[in-house]
Structure 1
């Protein structure tokens, strides 16, 4: 019988059994022994420091479970009795003392990698991560001399993921070329891998994706007279929606081989090949002149260094009077500097070469390289938290299918952590997502507003 660990979600999703050994699932792994449970020796040198720091938590409450023993970790002195009763709570189940070593030596990255390796678990991982985000200042007390070296090494290797033309293809391949079948397991039928827009409480994920596409098309006032260029095809969702519903022509580009093949097939099946052209080109190599430009959550793959290049190219592709709309995941201004100097779980394990710009960074890049004017900004970060919840539920429901594709326990736990990590960040406003509309100087669209 396969050894398993169980993830139970408080949202009502059924527990997901994950194979316990990293690597491709083989016959030998099907008979592998379970991971050794928490040893009786819990006095790792880092444990006392970790526990002492966790006791400084002032917003929320963590319960640490070790061998059935429950330890409450929070700063009781900072709470009134009413606050203590209503505290935002979560539970960490320590499955190996190595968890403390990872957290002590590598901080939050160590916690993420320890989770991937099955050293700890939680019935509600998103809630744990939300509490950690709320108490960032207290958690900085978990320091060891090794953390500086670990951070330095992470920054060095992240620096190798620069988004040159070759580097961008390599980085995109590592994430988006995992297989179209894999992404179909958790995306809705539109195949939009970006935040939806939930306009009504009963909206399905698919409807939220359609709402988002409609919002983009309407804000750009698309018409059959428009020729639109899209940077970042994805699986063809926007191009199909715009051409089918607005009659415009769309030229769209991706550097992912898997996405290029999939999008062309979808467009042909939809009977829209005469209105949509799918290129496999780097955005820097695009030529032509277009009425409108759309880029949906692609700017995050540009990288900090290449933001000016990206906005200069966007401006060069637009006709006089043209407009562009970006859907972009953004970093708040007050977090941006620290983020630029560090490497987080997402950039190391999910999106190599990724970078979340602040709105100010994008506006600076646009105005320093072009005559683009910022016309409108709409923030809808909490909608991304709901989108991620829906993806996570679908991911777990299709866990058996994902395993059948050859993905192992470490991969499934990594992606579970990814969904929860991002959901927590959007819930706590540590990141957000915006629709930002820019226009050439003589563009008649939009008025400046922020929602």
Structure 2
């Protein structure tokens, strides 16, 4: 089923004259590409943008003129929706993404103009996905409860869904994830007498690694029922139920005091509005001499304010309620909202 915004933008491209006007407008925006090369092909006609012999080269084939209306009226979200509907295709989607990431000024321009017409609707949908307790449960379920078998298709055996640490070109993804887990434990200076709190269980690898390799007690919490069931089974199989306490609880409802706290790429699901709440709660859960390690996907401070105002394809379709913090913003909140 098409969303109202995608139906609206697709209709913009159904009239031949309108489609041509929108097409010319999008092509003018693409003329601003300075990094990489993008070739757009429609009915045998080629448009080449960017640098010849560029390191990053991408190619787009327009299969339906409705694509122009969707891109013009809804920017990057419209481009993603047009791809889903089969209005354009590419032999290398990763290359297309890399070209646009290397030309953020062009991407920003595509979010303006006619695309601003659909922004109020998109923002209203995003507001409905805000991370209240009820909203967080719904947002986590929308992504992580799609089924563990889906994630098993592209994750390594550790089932870690976060950036790894490659210490060698020969490292497999699994080894790189184990490298990361070891580094986290070392940075936290884990000891057998520690009680470690993990906010964001994932599929349990951090909690299991800490318990097995450092002998500490671990309490870990998730909002995903699928992840909870998966981790619970792993703990039973490994005989770690006495050492690892698994909770299905919102981080805001946790109680107690812990020696160490770890949160691996969970903060992206907190949302801009709740960052102060998150850090204040982390501080409350730590002993006075406690230590916290946070792994996060961040956005540059120069783009943080703009990101707060906008909604992108990932927030709309992949991670509802998601938001990337900046390092500066996190440090500011820690300094002002925690002891």
TM-score by length of 1: 0.69
2:272 to 288, 295, 304: 304
Task: Report what 1:45 is aligned to.
Answer: 21
Task: Report what 2:319 is aligned to.
Answer: 351
Task: Report what 1:71 is aligned to.
Answer: 47
Task: Report what 2:294 is aligned to.
Answer: 326
Pairing 1:41-440 to 2, within 5 Å after superposition: 44-74=20-50, 84-86=52-54, 88-142=56-110, 146-371=114-339
Which runs of no fewer than 5 residues in structure 1 stay unpaired?
Answer: 1-20, 23-38, 75-82, 372-451
Q: Would you say the 8 A contact 2:203–2:230 is kept in 1?
A: yes
Paired with 1:178 and 1:270, the residues of 2 have a C-alpha distance of: 25
Distance 1:219 1:120, change over 3 A: same
- Residues 61-103 of structure 1: CA distance to partner in whole angstroms, max 9, x if unpaired? 21111223332234xxxxxxxx634463211111111111111
Distance 1:358 1:176, change over 3 A: same
Pairing 1:437-448 to 2, within 5 Å after superposition: none
Paired with 1:141 and 1:331, the residues of 2 have a C-alpha distance of: 19
Q: Would you say the 8 A contact 2:82–2:88 is kept in 1?
A: yes
Paired with 2:210 and 2:26, the residues of 1 have a C-alpha distance of: 52
Distance 1:221 1:140, change over 3 A: closer
Structure with the higher fraction of residues in helix conformation: 2
Task: Report what 1:382 is aligned to.
Answer: none
- 1:146, distance to aligned residue in structure 2 (A): 4.0
- 1:261, distance to aligned residue in structure 2 (A): 1.0
Distance 1:286 1:101, change over 3 A: same
- 1:305, distance to aligned residue in structure 2 (A): 1.0
- 1:110, distance to aligned residue in structure 2 (A): 0.7
Paired with 2:84 and 2:243, the residues of 1 have a C-alpha distance of: 44
Paired with 2:144 and 2:34, the residues of 1 have a C-alpha distance of: 39
Pairing 1:25-44 to 2, within 5 Å after superposition: 44=20
- Residues 233-272 of structure 1: CA distance to partner in whole angstroms, max 9, x if unpaired? 1111100000001000001111111111111110110111
Higher relative contact order (Cα pairs below 8 Å, separated by 6+ residues):
1
Distance 1:87 1:319, change over 3 A: closer
- 1:304, distance to aligned residue in structure 2 (A): 0.9
Give every structure 1 segment of 4 or more consecutive aligned residues whose post-TM-superposition deviation is greater than 3 Å: 83-88, 138-146
Q: Would you say the 8 A contact 1:44–1:101 is kept in 2?
A: no
Q: Would you say the 8 A contact 1:49–1:142 is kept in 2?
A: no
Q: Would you say the 8 A contact 1:232–1:298 is kept in 2?
A: yes
- Residues 304-349 of structure 1: CA distance to partner in whole angstroms, max 9, x if unpaired? 1111111111111111211000111111101101001000111110
Task: Report what 1:10 is aligned to.
Answer: none
TM-score by length of 2: 0.91
- 1:141, distance to aligned residue in structure 2 (A): 4.6
Distance 1:363 1:190, change over 3 A: same
Task: Report what 2:11 is aligned to.
Answer: none
> SS of the residue aligned with 1:203?
coil
Paired with 2:322 and 2:29, the residues of 1 have a C-alpha distance of: 31
Paired with 2:129 and 2:205, the residues of 1 have a C-alpha distance of: 28
- 1:60, distance to aligned residue in structure 2 (A): 2.1
- 1:138, distance to aligned residue in structure 2 (A): 3.7
> SS of the residue aligned with 1:182?
helix
